[in-house]
Amino acid sequence: MQELTIVKVGGKVVEEAENLASLLRDFSAIKGPKILVHGGGRSATAMAQRLGVETKMVEGRRITDAAMLEVVTMVYGGLVNKNIVAGLQAHQTNALGMTGADMNIIRSKRRAKGAVDYGFVGDIEAVDASGLTRLLTAGAVPVIAPLTHDGQGQMLNTNADTMASAVAAALSDQFQVMLVFCFELPGVLRDINNRDSVIDRITPEIYQALKKEGIVADGMIPKLDNSFAALEQGVAQIRITHPQGLAGGADAGTMLRLK
Ligand SMILES: Nc1ncnc2c1ncn2[C@@H]1O[C@H](COP(=O)(O)OP(=O)(O)O)[C@@H](O)[C@H]1O
Ligand SMILES: CC(=O)N[C@@H](CCC(=O)OP(=O)(O)O)C(=O)O
């Protein structure tokens, strides 16, 4: 089976010029078919503030009312996505910027109102793996923004980690998928204040213990939940590392394994 690399890059990395530059260089150096999924939560929060739109987050998810949906559509689908595409083109990587609505690649359903009304937030229902495969075969490098659509004309805000995991799982029938989560730290840390405390390998059993001890918290919990779900759906390998870890060989950062 052919190898496919999917890299997810978080908001803090795409916002810092130096980190972004090294990510674009190292991502461009990856051989074979590849996909980049990006976040941009921090840029959306900053732009919302400039536009006088209030930001509300619940458990790491953005409450997306109509005004915030306008902001995230502009910021993720426009500013952040196109800056990444232009940066990759400068490295001769034939990037194609898209949201889940483009080519109907990722369809979702607006999250039902529960205890919290998240507004225009989508939960993924379908990923068109064959559409993405056609783009990859044509030599394009899809750069996917964290936006999906409901098939009835409504754009929806969707967490970028969840999108990367869903795309990786969907493409696992056709490819041996290597999924890499790039964020601002060198991996999952035993001590959040010590960058040298990277945990080499996490299994679901180790994860439960780390969660109980409070060693993994916040945004790392949904990242790991998504990752173990993706491994169960056939993704070959998942790593969590910082952008420099992309060039650092297959053992940089934290490796996730089912056993
Ligand atoms: N043990 C841990 N190791 C590394 N990061 C952790 C850990 N526990 C919690 N975190 C937090 O998880 C965050 C990463 O999750 P998130 O903000 O969702 O990332 P992203 O920028 O990729 O969207 C880090 O900024 C860090 O504060
Ligand atoms: C529904 C929801 O929360 N969507 C996220 C999408 C961006 C994202 O995931 O960005 P990071 O990877 O930088 O966190 C948000 O608007 O913050």
Instruction: Give the model confidence (pLDDT) of 96-147 as tens digits.
Output: 999 999 999 999 999 999 999 999 999 999 999 999 999 999 999 999 999 9
Distance from the CA of 136 to the center of ligand 1, in angstroms?
30
Residue nearest to atom 20 of ligand 1 (CA): 10
Whether the per-residue pLDDT at 214 is higher than 90: the answer is: yes
Domain map (residue ranges) of the chain? 3-256
Instruction: Give the model confidence (pLDDT) of 155-166 as tens digits.
Output: 999 999 999 999
Our mutation pick for probing the ligand 2 site, out of 12, 157, 223, counting the most ligand atoms within 8 A of Cβ, is 157
146 Cβ closer than 6 Å to some ligand 1 atom:
no
160 Cβ closer than 6 Å to some ligand 2 atom:
yes
Q: Which fold has domain 3-256?
A: Carbamate kinase (3.40.1160)
Distance from the CA of 222 to the center of ligand 1, in angstroms?
10
240 Cβ closer than 6 Å to some ligand 1 atom:
no
Sequence ranges of the binding site for substrate: 40-41, 62, 157
Residue nearest to atom 10 of ligand 1 (CA): 220
DSSP string, the chain: --EEEEEEE-HHHHHSHHHHHHHHHHHHT--SSEEEEE--HHHHHHHHHHTTPPP-EETTEE-B-HHHHHHHHHIIIIIIHHHHHHHHHTTT--EEEE-TTGGG-EEEEEPPPSSS--BSBEEEEEE-HHHHHHHHHTT-EEEE-SEEE-SSS-EEE--HHHHHHHHHHHHTTTSEEEEEEE-SSSSSBSSTT-TT-B-SEE-HHHHHHHHHTTSS-TTHHHHHHHHHHHHHTT--EEEEE-GGGGTS-TTSSEEE---
185 Cβ closer than 6 Å to some ligand 1 atom:
yes
111 Cβ closer than 6 Å to some ligand 2 atom:
no
Nearest-ligand number for the alpha carbon of 81: 2
Instruction: Give the model confidence (pLDDT) of 3-45 as tens digits.
Output: 999 999 997 898 888 889 989 999 999 999 999 999 999 999 9
CA distance 165 to 92: 26
- Structure confidence at residue 229 (pLDDT): 95
Distance from the CA of 39 to the center of ligand 2, in angstroms?
6
- Structure confidence at residue 18 (pLDDT): 86
